[in-house]
Amino acid sequence: MRQTIQTFLPNLDLDRVSFHRAMPHLFSWLPHGGITLPHLWRSRRTRIYVARRYWRPASRGGLGLILHEALHAQQVQDCLLGWGWGPLRPFVILYLAAWAGNGFRYVGHPMEVDAYRFAGSAGSRFECWCDSGATSIPWDRLAGPHGEPLDDDELRRLREECSPASASSPGRERSAVVAHRDLAHSIPGWRGLESLLRRSLDLTAWAWLPALPAILVGACTVVLWGLFWGTVTAILWSGIVVVELVGGAVALFLRLLAGLVGKVGALLAG
């Protein structure tokens, strides 16, 4: 599985990604088979959770889901190189901002569109590659029990065809640029401001000076929008941490109580 992920996402640092065969309990109500979240407190670490019944890394669908989540892990690492503390990372802020910009809908979320274009649904590049390439390139060789590597030409072709970074320019740099652009695009009414800015920036010499207020307003709006969703992220995450800590404490208390009751019962019976 790791070899397959590394083949399709050569820029993903798998040493900073861990896999968990269950959904975190606060997210178990989600209809999705998996979720990618930054580590609760460590910087630059990402966790991929896949619901137990969907954990089938040896199957096309199961591997597609894992690759889809791995692409989100790549997005985490690509957003300003994944810097941040716990959940306070550009990826989470951008994800929430883009979700709001998409009318709080999952379908059409730009980061999900990127991920599904790559893997996770019947029409994704990975799934299409499985269907079309299964005869010419034996699947076993990519993820087989002995882990035989593909030859260089096949690897290069696969990376070109299937890497989401192949759309324009390679890897991290492209995603970082997209992160900033996506944050701006998620702002309500941004398109109008952007077209005004574009028209102004097309002008030569000093003619763009009158557009300076619009440029400043645009820059300030992006910063404030980012700060707002950063604050929302911090509040949400604080809530999650509190619930998990209280839940853990209650579980520990019940466990100790059960042990105590058991001992008292044994004493009385004796």
Give contact residues for Zn ion (rule: CB under 5 A). Answer: 112, 115
Which CB atom, from 119 or from 165, has the smaller least distance to Zn ion?
Answer: 119
Report the nearest approach of Zn ion to the CB of residue 115 (Å): 4
Report the nearest approach of Zn ion to the CB of residue 30 (Å): 11
Taking CB positions, which residue lies at the least distance from Zn ion? 115
Report the nearest approach of Zn ion to the CB of residue 155 (Å): 26
Which CB atom, from 96 or from 222, has the smaller least distance to Zn ion?
Answer: 96
Distance, in Å, from the CA atom of 149 to the CA atom of 48, rounded to the nearest integer, reads: 25
Report the nearest approach of Zn ion to the CB of residue 19 (Å): 15
Q: Give the tokens for residue 120.
A: 């996770």
Report the nearest approach of Zn ion to the CB of residue 121 (Å): 10
Bridge pairing between strands 46-50 and 34-38: antiparallel
Which CB atom, from 37 or from 184, has the smaller least distance to Zn ion?
Answer: 37
Which CB atom, from 91 or from 190, has the smaller least distance to Zn ion?
Answer: 91
Distance, in Å, from the CA atom of 143 to the CA atom of 158, rounded to the nearest integer, reads: 14
Which CB atom, from 115 or from 165, has the smaller least distance to Zn ion?
Answer: 115
Cα–Cα separations (whole angstroms), residue 208 to 192, 193, 199, 211: 17, 14, 9, 5
Residue in the block written with tokens 């991929």? 48
- Cβ neighbors of 233 (< 8 A, separation 6 or more) are 87, 88, 92, 93, 96
